[in-house]
Amino acid sequence: MKALRRLWARRSAPSLRVLMVCSGNICRSPTAEAVLRARLLGARLDGLVEVDSAGTHGFHQSEPPDPRAQAHARRRGYDLSELRARNVTPADFQRFHWMLAMDEGHLGWLQRNAPASATARVELLMRHARRRRDTLEVPDPYYGGPDGFEQVLDLVEDACDGVLDALRAELAVAVTPASGDRKA
């Protein structure tokens, strides 16, 4: 255990990078970013995986997440207040290992706009859901009421649990349920 921690301490950059993607980067993708960060922190893998979010369109460039998204996330213990909207860039397709789209429209946009040199795996976030395997997309809550933001959190939490499992497998790290200790 001590040797493994020393090895991790020497790492200067995360082993894996995940980018959450939606339209304007003010509701779904920042929520997914915050949820996955919290899951990684809870699993003590936060230093090994970098998480970010971006939008396919620059509707809200440099703006904080929607106040409703922030309020609902805060009630569940997630802080979105420091996040700012940005666009997906061509460099993201090389920088990130995974680009996880919130819906089919974003997935198609990412696939169409990926440069020839892209190395990122582009897929739907909900592909990783554990309980809601029949749900393919995280619906946009922007034009709806409070229930939409709660639904986003429910779906994203479920999918991020699955993403965490996939990241553990990629990192070849398992966490024992009883103690939370890392094992190689």
Known catalytic residues are 22, 28, 140
Longest dimension (CA), the chain: 51
Do 87 and 168 meet the contact criterion of CB atoms below 8 Å apart? Answer: no
Do 65 and 23 meet the contact criterion of CB atoms below 8 Å apart? Answer: no
Beta-bridge partner residues of 183: 174
**Residue 173 has which token pair?**
């790290």
